[in-house]
């Protein structure tokens, strides 16, 4: 049926507007004439510097702005050749499409985007089950969790929860609560140091030794005292990828009758271990493990911007840390450091979880483990000392160093620089303190690092090494400086603030430990 | 030519057919189109556990995409400040940079230099002094920025107290904010163990932080004052200049040097561009303002996930908070709570800054304010509503108006001239504020129709797809409820016309209904929530439980989404 419509006369048109005020207030803002140009590169902007420090007075057309920014970004590295980072650089087109469609959604806006919030709950539930979280029979038991921007936020939240729980207990017992401490390995990621410093918790470090790159359970438990808010165990250290022995720590605590919570930092390992070594007990199957974090944007296979943290049950999350936001009559409980953020990554995570299924994740993680084994064997054959574990005893990464040799003119950093010239980003690190400044190189095997590319890398490592062998000390040094200055971007960096350079408070400042990127 | 044995293809095919194992049709899902898998009709979409087997990508795409259709329409959500529109080029840039990690400075140097440029542009926009070295950082949003600012305030206070040999534990630090503060400010106090002195607001103080109360509450353990540029309730700017003066006086009298952090989450991209300005000095021109934060994803016109924080000088950022990271011989400083995070928002922020320029931002912000004035007048014209926000009211004091007008003229003097300029109405003559319209029933209306509740308006508008929240003002004004509309860039005049029409029709509808009808409607609404709860499954209900137990945590303060 077609609606009949009358044609309004003048009077009706005017009275159609509701109030005089509206008509009067109709603005007539002028638009300046836009200057049209032939193409982006024919415009005046192409011959000028991009505004860097002050906002330009006048606007520029969107095509020009787009093209100039895109050109500027072409100086960024090629993510595929970046073997330094765990962060996902490949997703399927469909996933990209979903994410692109959702990036204007504000994740925190529950009333407006209820479905996106529901998707987060499903992810928490799936990940919780993957970690064998106790499932609530009644409402008050059972795991709870939340999404975060990344593992840094997740860890800060976990530390905050442990600290507050400890404090509440101390207050109850009428004991002082001004000297909390946390026990962790010296190989921790920098965000643990941050969390300890920002929330004023003393760090008690378990140092690595020359041949042990993870915590020693005995030593760890011995460090525990009445002021210990918890123990951090890393499932896959960023240096060598080795899993720390959570079960041993747990069992020792049980044996000694200590009731100290363990937080497992499974930023990288949380999506690897359950698929590759499902029998390894590191998660909520152990009674002292109270919380676990995992990065969705690492082996969770999502683009940067998503992490997860799960608590064993609501009792481990002190109520005063949870904030309720009343919005259109619906209360939202939230425990986050960030508020508004995009919903894309959470949706991307859900896509991957149901798209791949356990089978898909297992297939990918198995391939990564195979590739890592292959690379590890090949490098061992080239004479390197392999520091990482193989075959699922650690993350799919290969950490290696040069064999001890007196007369060598180059070190691991020189090799890293040399590889940079060929386009590979293979970082060199100085290990955690008390390992006599052990240096190492690390290759992270990600989803998009295929066997074929692995072969090219091995060839290049071999060639770079041969080249370095032929050079004497001076030329190695010169070459290294040259590469540092011209081939690495951080060497060219101008943004390093003189005031904050060479700080002395972190493990890095104190001991020369370099942080592995994650 | 090589010799070849004759091969009969038929033979081979026959042979292969006989040895081929029976097909396992159940193993692989039949898959012709996205909707021809078991998920379409036989199986439930996995909700609580990772499925054992995966599913084809196009199927999963349409499953999730269809489900997301149930989300609201961003453009009709008038409750939120968060930007929902990107122009196609910005969208393209966003999509192509989705995979980039902002923390990976060695790999993405161009991204890093863009974020530095943005910090620099913002510092200049906010009047950073040339003789000082402003430092700043991108954040995920204003929440992170507020935490960082508060933490630096706390550390500076601790250092000061230690230097004076005073205790930092007894009685411990406190921080001052108005009860209209966003939840992030309160979170900072709770998480970093600073006593929050939340000062009540009143009509006298425009429902903002009251300078008189600040004077009463400052003591030597006050680490700072959070001043909000753009209250989320009514859009009023808090009196930054007045508070700074007052703190100067206090310092003279008692020697307490208390710093100010300006939470310009919404106002940081509005006040600098509009003709009305902030009606006062608010930025780094005031020496007491040590840091400012802004949300790029509000009036910075970027989609969610970006905020900025700038300190006026590096000396206000205590060194022990900064961490150095070494990569491949280079060094990075970092002061953030998040580490790996997407970089695409930074690219789009930079795109907006140089694409729009000062003029472009000004035009957009003036448009938003003009539309807000239109809406305010339209609502007041009905006689049913009165506005709690003031942006449509001409400035009372002549001297101030004169000053602003003069300033506006000097700014526009170089722009396009001519007679047209004079006809143009700008925000210069009006009370400065965010493009927010907060309104409530007039007292006469309430007397005439006592049975109509204001939240019914919100409820009925919801049925017409508009999301306009109704909530109580912060304490001690929480007897007053307001409806709030945030005017964003994408709220065009046409849409506004529709909105006024709908508000008027909805109100008429309410007037026509008697009390019984209305009570039925409210009942139906109440039923909505339990239903939702059962849908959510176990994981969620526990969370809800936690939520319920702490429901009255905020002492009845209703906190608005920003």
**Tokens representing residue B78 in the block:** 């008038």
The pLDDT of residue B502 is: 92
> What letter does residue B274 receive in the DSSP assignment?
S
| B441 bridge partner residues | B385
Predicted TM-score (pTM) above 0.90:
no
Among A205-214, A365-374, B62-71, which range has the highest average pLDDT? A365-374
> What letter does residue A422 receive in the DSSP assignment?
T
Q: Which of A32, A48, A112 to mutate to test the interface with B (most CBs of B within 10 A)?
A: A112
DSSP states of A309-324 = EEESSGGGS-GGG-EE
| pLDDT for B309 beyond 90 | yes
The pLDDT of residue A80 is: 79
Is the ipTM here above 0.90?
Answer: no
Phi first, then psi: what are they for B524, rounded to 5°? -60, -40
Confidence band for B167, pLDDT divided at 50, 70 and 90: confident
| pLDDT for B476 beyond 50 | yes
Reported in sequence order, the residue ranges of A172-322 that DSSP labels E, i.e. its strands, are: 181-185, 202-206, 228-234, 262-265, 289-295, 307-311
pLDDT tens by residue, B322-334: 877 665 445 667 7
| pLDDT for A328 beyond 50 | no
B128 versus B41: which is more confidently predicted?
B128
| pLDDT for B369 beyond 80 | yes
pLDDT tens by residue, B23-49: 554 555 557 777 777 777 777 888 888
Percent of chain B with pLDDT over 70: 82
B110 Cβ under 8 Å from any chain A Cβ? yes
The pLDDT of residue B373 is: 92
Q: How far is CA A161 from the centre of its chain?
A: 20
User: How large is the angle between the packed helices A93-102 and B88-96, nearest 10 degrees?
Assistant: 130
Instruction: State whether residue A82 is helix, strand or coil.
Output: strand
| pLDDT for A25 beyond 70 | no
pLDDT tens by residue, A106-124: 887 777 788 888 888 889 8
The pLDDT of residue A53 is: 82
Average pLDDT over residues A32-36: 51
**CA quadruple A209, A214, A217, A220: dihedral sign:** positive
A438 versus A502: which is more confidently predicted?
A438
Q: In whole angstroms, what is the distance from residue A410 CA to residue A265 CA? A: 35
Find, in chain B, the residue whose alpha carbon is nearest to that of A356. B54
Q: What is the 3-state secondary structure (H, E, C) of B42-61?
A: CCCCCCCCCCCCCCCHHHHH
**Omega within 30 of 0 (cis) for the link into A336:** no
| pLDDT for B169 beyond 60 | yes
Phi first, then psi: what are they for A500, rounded to 5°? -95, 0
CB contact set of B45 (below 8 Å; sequence gap of 6+):
A354, B39, B63, B67
The pLDDT of residue B1 is: 52
Binding-face residues of B in 325-384 toward A, CB within 8 A: 325-334, 336-345, 347, 350-351, 353-361, 363, 366-367, 370, 373-374, 377-378, 380-382
The pLDDT of residue A138 is: 58
The pLDDT of residue A507 is: 64
pLDDT tens by residue, A37-77: 567 777 777 777 788 888 888 888 888 888 888 888 887 77
| pLDDT for A30 beyond 80 | no
Q: Which residues of B touch A327 (CB under 8 A)?
A: 79, 469, 559-561
Confidence band for B314, pLDDT divided at 50, 70 and 90: confident
Contact call for A333 and B543, based on CB within 8 A: yes
The pLDDT of residue B262 is: 95
Looking at CA atoms only, how far is residue A406 from chain B in angstroms? 24
Q: In whole angstroms, what is the distance from residue A424 CA to residue A393 CA? A: 26
Beta-strand pair A202-206/A181-185: parallel
pLDDT tens by residue, A273-317: 999 888 889 989 998 999 999 999 999 999 999 999 999 888 888
The pLDDT of residue A159 is: 92
Length of chain A, in residues:
518
The pLDDT of residue B8 is: 75
Looking at CA atoms only, how far is residue A215 from chain B in angstroms? 22
CA angle in degrees (0–180, nearest 5) for A378-A383-A387: 75
Contact call for B359 and A57, based on CB within 8 A: yes
Nearest to A150 among B113, B340, B455 (CB): B340
The pLDDT of residue B60 is: 87
| pLDDT for B530 beyond 70 | no
Among A208-217, A338-347, B290-299, which range has the highest average pLDDT? B290-299
| pLDDT for A28 beyond 60 | no
Beta-strand pair A397-401/A439-444: antiparallel
Mean pLDDT (chain B, rounded): 81
Find, in chain B, the residue whose alpha carbon is nearest to that of A342. B304
pLDDT tens by residue, B228-243: 998 988 999 999 999 9
Binding-face residues of B in 238-257 toward A, CB within 8 A: none
A18 versus B143: which is more confidently predicted?
B143
The pLDDT of residue A74 is: 82
Confidence band for A4, pLDDT divided at 50, 70 and 90: low
> How buried is residue B476: exposed, middle or buried, by Cβ count under 10 Å (0-12/13-18/19+)?
exposed
The pLDDT of residue B4 is: 67
| pLDDT for B175 beyond 70 | yes
Looking at CA atoms only, how far is residue A196 from chain B in angstroms? 11
User: Lowest mean pLDDT: which of A25-29, A397-401, A404-408?
Assistant: A25-29
The pLDDT of residue B375 is: 92
Contact call for A77 and B378, based on CB within 8 A: no
The pLDDT of residue B433 is: 92
Contact call for B381 and A20, based on CB within 8 A: yes
Contact call for A65 and B96, based on CB within 8 A: no
The pLDDT of residue B543 is: 38
The pLDDT of residue B422 is: 46
| pLDDT for B534 beyond 50 | no
Average pLDDT over residues B377-387: 91
Looking at CA atoms only, how far is residue A218 from chain B in angstroms? 30
Nearest to A69 among B47, B182, B350 (CB): B350
The kind and range of the H/E element at B227 are strand B222-228
**Tokens representing residue A377 in the block:** 């064997």
The pLDDT of residue A140 is: 61
The pLDDT of residue B291 is: 94
| pLDDT for B272 beyond 60 | yes
Instruction: State whether residue B135 is helix, strand or coil.
Output: strand
CA angle in degrees (0–180, nearest 5) for B264-A334-B556: 80
Average pLDDT over residues A89-104: 88
**Tokens representing residue B329 in the block:** 């011989």
Average pLDDT over residues B154-170: 90
* Neighbouring C-beta atoms of residue A379, cutoff 10 Å: 21
Mean pLDDT (chain A, rounded): 81
Nearest to B53 among A59, A156, A357 (CB): A357
The C-alpha torsion from B34 through B40 and B44 to B49, rounded to 10°, is: -10
Confidence band for A495, pLDDT divided at 50, 70 and 90: low
Contact call for B544 and A333, based on CB within 8 A: yes
Confidence band for A185, pLDDT divided at 50, 70 and 90: confident
Q: Are B282 and B271 in contact (CB under 8 A)?
A: yes
Reported in sequence order, the residue ranges of B80-159 that DSSP labels E, i.e. its strands, are: 135-139
The pLDDT of residue A108 is: 79
Q: Are B176 and B165 in contact (CB under 8 A)?
A: no
- Report how far apart, in Å, the C-alpha atoms of A472 and of each of A388, A405, A408, A410, A478 are: 30, 15, 9, 9, 10
Confidence band for B550, pLDDT divided at 50, 70 and 90: very low
Confidence band for B547, pLDDT divided at 50, 70 and 90: very low
Q: In whole angstroms, what is the distance from residue B259 CA to residue B243 CA? A: 10
Residue reference for tokens 């001043």: B227
Confidence band for B539, pLDDT divided at 50, 70 and 90: very low
The pLDDT of residue B413 is: 44
The pLDDT of residue A484 is: 63
| pLDDT for B529 beyond 50 | no
The pLDDT of residue B544 is: 39
**CA quadruple B203, B205, B209, B211: dihedral sign:** negative
Q: In whole angstroms, what is the distance from residue B200 CA to residue B210 CA? A: 8
Beta-strand pair A323-327/A330-334: antiparallel
Confidence band for B299, pLDDT divided at 50, 70 and 90: very high
The pLDDT of residue B423 is: 52
- Report how far apart, in Å, the C-alpha atoms of A388 and of each of A219, A277, A374 are: 22, 16, 13
pLDDT tens by residue, A120-136: 888 988 999 899 888 87
**Omega within 30 of 0 (cis) for the link into B476:** yes
The pLDDT of residue B419 is: 42
Helical residues (DSSP H) of B69-173, grouped into ranges: 88-96, 109-125, 142-163
The pLDDT of residue B46 is: 84
Confidence band for B407, pLDDT divided at 50, 70 and 90: low
Percent of chain B with pLDDT over 90: 38
Contact call for B537 and A121, based on CB within 8 A: yes
Q: How many CA atoms lie within 13 A of B93 on its CB side?
A: 31
Q: Are B80 and A106 in contact (CB under 8 A)?
A: yes
Instruction: State whether residue A364 is helix, strand or coil.
Output: helix
Q: Are B227 and B213 in contact (CB under 8 A)?
A: no
First to last CA, chain B: 79
| pLDDT for B307 beyond 90 | yes
| pLDDT for B3 beyond 70 | no
Residue reference for tokens 């720390």: A244
The kind and range of the H/E element at B261 are strand B259-263
| pLDDT for B416 beyond 80 | no
The C-alpha torsion from B307 through B311 and B316 to B319, rounded to 10°, is: 50
> How buried is residue B543: exposed, middle or buried, by Cβ count under 10 Å (0-12/13-18/19+)?
buried
> How buried is residue B487: exposed, middle or buried, by Cβ count under 10 Å (0-12/13-18/19+)?
buried
């Amino acid at each position: 049926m077609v609606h009949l419509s009358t044609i309004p006369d003048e009077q009706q048109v005017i009275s159609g507007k509701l109030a005089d005020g509206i008509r009067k207030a109709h603005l007539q803002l002028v638009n300046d004439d836009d200057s049209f140009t032939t193409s982006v590169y024919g415009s005046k902007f192409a011959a000028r510097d991009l505004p860097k420090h002050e906002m330009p007075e006048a606007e520029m057309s969107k095509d020009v702005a787009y093209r100039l920014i895109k050109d500027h970004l072409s100086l960024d590295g090629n993510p595929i050749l970046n073997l330094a980072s765990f962060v996902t650089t490949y997703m399927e087109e469909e996933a990209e499409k979903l994410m692109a469609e959702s990036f204007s959604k504000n994740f925190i806006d529950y009333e407006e985007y209820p479905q996106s919030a529901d998707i987060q709950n499903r992810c928490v539930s799936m990940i919780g089950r993957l970690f064998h979280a106790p499932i609530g029979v009644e409402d008050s038991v059972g795991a709870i969790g939340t999404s975060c921007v990344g593992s840094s936020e997740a860890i800060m939240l976990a530390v905050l929860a442990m600290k507050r729980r400890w404090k509440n207990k101390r207050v109850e017992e009428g004991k002082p609560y001004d000297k909390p401490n946390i026990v962790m390995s010296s190989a921790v990621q920098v965000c643990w140091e941050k969390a300890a410093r920002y929330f004023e918790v003393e760090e008690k470090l378990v140092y690595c030794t020359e041949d042990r790159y993870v915590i020693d359970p005995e030593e760890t438990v011995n460090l525990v005292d009445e002021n210990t808010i918890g123990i951090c165990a890393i499932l896959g250290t960023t240096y060598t990828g080795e899993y720390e022995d959570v079960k041993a720590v747990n069992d020792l605590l049980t044996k000694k009758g200590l009731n100290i919570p363990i937080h497992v930092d499974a930023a990288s390992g949380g999506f690897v271990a359950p698929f590759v070594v499902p029998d390894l007990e590191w998660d909520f199957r152990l009674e002292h493990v109270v919380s676990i974090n995992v990065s969705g944007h690492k082996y969770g296979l999502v683009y940067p911007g998503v992490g997860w943290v799960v608590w064993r049950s609501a009792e481990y999350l002190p109520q005063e840390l949870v904030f309720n936001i009343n919005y259109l009559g619906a209360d939202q409980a939230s425990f986050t450091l960030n508020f508004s953020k995009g919903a894309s990554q959470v949706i991307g995570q859900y896509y991957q979880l149901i798209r791949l299924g356990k089978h898909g994740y297992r297939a990918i993680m198995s391939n990564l483990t195979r590739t890592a084994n292959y690379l590890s064997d090949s490098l061992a054959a080239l004479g390197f000392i392999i520091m990482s574990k193989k075959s699922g005893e650690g993350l799919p990464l290969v950490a290696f160093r040069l064999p001890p040799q007196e007369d060598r003119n180059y070190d691991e950093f020189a090799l890293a620089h040399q590889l940079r010239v060929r386009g590979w980003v293979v970082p060199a690190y100085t290990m955690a303190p008390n390992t006599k400044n052990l240096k190492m190189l690390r290759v992270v095997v990600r989803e998009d690092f295929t066997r074929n590319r692995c072969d090219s890398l091995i060839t290049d490592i071999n060639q770079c090494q041969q080249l370095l062998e032929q050079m004497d000390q001076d030329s190695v040094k010169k070459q290294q400086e040259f590469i540092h200055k011209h081939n690495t971007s951080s060497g060219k960096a101008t943004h390093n603030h003189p005031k904050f350079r060479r700080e002395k408070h972190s493990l890095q400042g104190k001991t020369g430990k370099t942080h592995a990127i994650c | 030519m090589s010799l070849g044995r004759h091969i009969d293809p038929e033979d081979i095919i026959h042979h292969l057919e006989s040895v081929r194992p029976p097909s396992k049709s159940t193993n692989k899902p039949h898959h012709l189109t996205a909707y021809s898998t078991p998920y379409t009709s036989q199986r439930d979409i996995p909700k609580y556990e990772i499925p054992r087997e995966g599913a084809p990508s196009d199927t999963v795409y349409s499953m999730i995409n269809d489900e997301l259709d149930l989300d609201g329409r961003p453009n009709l959500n008038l409750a939120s400040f968060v930007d929902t529109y990107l122009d196609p080029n910005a969208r393209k840039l966003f999509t192509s940079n989705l995979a980039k990690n902002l923390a990976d400075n060695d790999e993405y140097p161009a991204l890093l230099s863009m974020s530095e440029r943005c910090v620099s542009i913002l510092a200049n926009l906010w009047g950073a002094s040339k003789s000082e070295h402003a430092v700043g950082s991108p954040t995920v949003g204003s929440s992170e920025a507020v935490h960082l600012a508060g933490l630096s305030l706390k550390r500076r206070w601790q250092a000061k107290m230690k230097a004076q040999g005073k205790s930092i534990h007894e009685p411990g630090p406190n921080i001052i904010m108005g009860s209209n503060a966003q939840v992030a400010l309160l979170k900072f106090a709770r998480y970093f163990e600073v006593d929050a002195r939340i000062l009540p607001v009143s009509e006298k103080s425009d429902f903002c932080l009251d300078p008189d109360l600040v004077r009463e509450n400052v003591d030597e353990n006050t680490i700072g004052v959070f001043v909000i540029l753009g209250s989320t309730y009514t859009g009023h700017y808090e009196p930054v200049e007045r508070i700074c003066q007052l703190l100067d006086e206090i310092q003279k009298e008692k020697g307490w040097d208390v710093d100010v952090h300006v939470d310009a989450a919404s106002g940081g991209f509005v006040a600098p561009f509009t003709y009305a300005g902030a009606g006062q000095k608010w930025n780094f021109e005031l020496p007491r303002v040590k840091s400012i934060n802004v949300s790029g994803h509000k009036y910075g016109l970027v989609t969610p996930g970006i905020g900025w924080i700038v300190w006026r000088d590096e000396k206000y950022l205590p060194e022990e908070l900064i961490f150095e990271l070494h990569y491949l011989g280079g060094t990075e400083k970092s002061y953030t709570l998040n580490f790996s995070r997407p970089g695409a928002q930074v690219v789009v922020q930079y795109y907006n800054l140089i694409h729009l320029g000062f003029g472009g931002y000004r035009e957009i912000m003036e448009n938003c304010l003009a539309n807000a004035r239109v809406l305010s007048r339209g609502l007041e014209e009905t006689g049913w509503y009165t506005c709690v926000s003031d942006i449509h009211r001409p400035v009372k004091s002549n001297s101030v108006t004169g000053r602003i007008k003069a300033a506006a003229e000097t700014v526009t003097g170089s722009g396009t001239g001519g007679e047209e300029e004079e006809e143009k109405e700008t925000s210069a003559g009006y009370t400065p504020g965010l493009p927010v319209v907060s309104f409530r029933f007039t007292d006469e209306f309430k007397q005439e129709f006592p049975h109509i509740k204001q939240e019914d308006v919100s409820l009925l508008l919801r049925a017409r797809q508009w999301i306009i929240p109704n909530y109580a003002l912060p304490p001690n004004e929480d007897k007053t409820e307001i409806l709030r509309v945030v005017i964003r860039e994408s709220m065009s005049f046409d849409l506004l016309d529709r909105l006024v029409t709908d508000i008027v029709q909805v109100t008429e509808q309410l007037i026509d209904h008697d009390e019984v009808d209305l009570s039925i409607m409210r009942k139906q609404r109440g039923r909505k929530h339990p239903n939702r709860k059962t849908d959510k499954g176990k994981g969620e209900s526990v969370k809800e439980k936690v939520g319920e137990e702490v429901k009255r945590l905020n002492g009845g303060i209703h906190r608005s989404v920003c």
